[in-house]
Amino acid sequence: MQRFVEACATWLASRPEAACRRAALALGEAAMIGGAAVTDETPAVMAHLEPALTAVRGPLADALRAAGDEIAWFESRSGEVERHMGGRNAMSQVVGPDSPLVSETVRFGTFLIAPGTCYPRHAHSADELYVVVGGRGRWWIGDSPYRSYGPGEVVHVMPWQKHAIRTDEAPLLTLWAWMGDFDFKNYRMEPDGFDADGQAI
Ligand SMILES: [Fe+2]
């Protein structure tokens, strides 16, 4: 686990984006105090992990492969996320206030979304970073049109900036980091992210 986080921190430290370097610093200060997190479930979407990593080379994909079962994947059970992405997403949080690697300044983990999925518009107080490790996804951020991101690309979302993610034929495998005010209570799924039938837009 620690080796995985170190590899991610090294990669982030080499990036030009200030948010990446902030995340790298915070990850470098995280302290290992517990054993690996335990999960007793294998989310259905995990079938897409290997396909997402196929043919992807580089330190992040290698580190994720090497970490293997040390990463405790679980499906997000927060109401709106489950309603729109139930069975189609899994995440882990390997660094954070309540994670095996403890940090009070960053939450950090992995995120996997099945093909053909929409993560509806939402916003939160945390400063958010996504790093695409494998597969592909499209991000809608603020008023910008959807833009496609692939392996090695970084997406930065500012606090309370509305954003959404869509996948098409490929799954999407990312790292994620929340910095700043990362209280999960400050998270909103936006009502304008749905059409009249409640479908995500
Ligand atoms: Fe977000």
* pLDDT per position as a tens digit, 107-166: 999 999 999 999 999 999 999 999 999 999 999 998 888 999 999 999 999 999 999 999
Task: Work out the percent of the chain whose per-residue pLDDT is above 70.
Answer: 98
Residue 35 pLDDT > 70: no
66-71: long-range contacts (C-beta < 8 A, 24 or more apart)?
66/3, 66/4, 67/1, 67/3, 67/4, 70/1, 70/4, 70/36, 71/1, 71/4, 71/110
Query: Using one digit for the tens of pLDDT, what is the confidence trace for 50-83?
Result: 999 998 999 999 999 999 989 999 998 777 788 8
For ligand 1, the distance from its centroid to the CA atom of residue 53, given in whole angstroms, is 22
The CATH number that domain 2-193 falls under is 2.60.120.10
Instruction: Label the pairing between strands 89-96 and 101-102.
Output: parallel
Residues bordering ligand 1, an ion, CB closer than 5 Å = 128
Task: Indicate the average pLDDT of the chain.
Answer: 92
How far does residue 129's CA lie from ligand 1's centre (Å)?
8
Q: Where are the domains of the chain?
A: 2-193
The model's pTM is 0.93
